[in-house]
Amino acid sequence: MESGTRKSLQPGQAAAIWGVVCAAWAVFVVPLFFGVAGLALGGYAWWRGERRGRWVMVGAVVAMLLGLGLGLLPDSFVSN
Query: Is-contact 41 33, C-beta < 8 A?
Result: no
pLDDT at 65 over 70: yes
**DSSP assignment, residue 29?**
S
pLDDT at 1 over 90: no
Please report the pLDDT score of residue 72 as a whole number: 86
